[in-house]
Amino acid sequence: MNKYVDLFIDFDDTLYDTRGNSVIALGELFEQCQLSRYFSDPEVFYKAYWEANVSLWALYAKGEITRDFLIVERFRIPLSKGVGLQPTEAYCLDLSDKFLDLCSSKSGVIEGARELLAYLKGKGYRMHICSNGFHEVQYKKLRSSGLTDFFDTVILSEDAGANKPSKIFFDYALERTQANPSTTLMIGDNYSTDIEGAMNAGLDTLLFRRWDPSFIPPRPVTYVVDSLREIQSVL
């Protein structure tokens, strides 16, 4: 008999293929905004975007920058590499709005996500989204993914008043869901935000090693899997 009653599950890049959907959306944005006027090689723009995006999200999770700063900077930095382009804040915001619209309408989920959720639902787990994503975007993405009905609760950091990995986030999630930490498992793809945060809040953890199968967690994680399918053998 499994000891878990509640599952806290990260959404972006754990269930929803945020990376894959964003790659498509970024290409569409490049076309729509005719960025070829400034970039002879689109890869220069894409590469700079991804570098900026990853480092800005890490700072955002730590609470070192605001959402407004993130959404402007992740376009200002790559656009600054364009020839003859001096991106204003208004221009970056316009691109950001268009991009978020394009992204959040995509339905791509990680391989095995729907099957996993159906399996877990059938086993009787209570399931809760635990996400740092932005409010208005996250609900659209959830609808686009078609996964909404599997979840009992959606916990967003903007509601919690703090981002994962903060203990404030996890304490808020436990209170909202009335879950007991000793029978709750956190599942996520990001070691620093999902896993360490949950550990510090006293939860068991499952790391979905989506990005680097050779990654060895610095602190012991309850379970490590390399595909969503593998989760069915532990839950």
Q: Which residues bind Mg ion (CB under 5 A)?
A: 10, 12-14, 189-190
Indicate the residue among 10 and 17 with the shorter CB distance to Mg ion: 10
Shortest distance (Å) from residue 210 CB to Mg ion: 8
Shortest distance (Å) from residue 13 CB to Mg ion: 4
Distances (CA, A) of 108 to 19, 49, 142, 180, 196: 10, 20, 11, 32, 27
Q: Measured in whole angstroms, how far is the alpha carbon of residue 220 from the centre of its chain?
A: 22
Shortest distance (Å) from residue 24 CB to Mg ion: 18
Contacts of 1 (CB under 8 A, 6+ apart): none
Shortest distance (Å) from residue 88 CB to Mg ion: 31
Indicate the residue among 73 and 189 with the shorter CB distance to Mg ion: 189
Among candidates 57, 75, 53, 63, which has minimal Cα distance to 10?
57
Which helix (H) or strand (E) segment holds residue 160: the answer is helix 157-160
* CA 117 – CA 53 distance, rounded (Å): 28
Indicate the residue among 37 and 229 with the shorter CB distance to Mg ion: 229
Indicate the residue among 6 and 10 with the shorter CB distance to Mg ion: 10
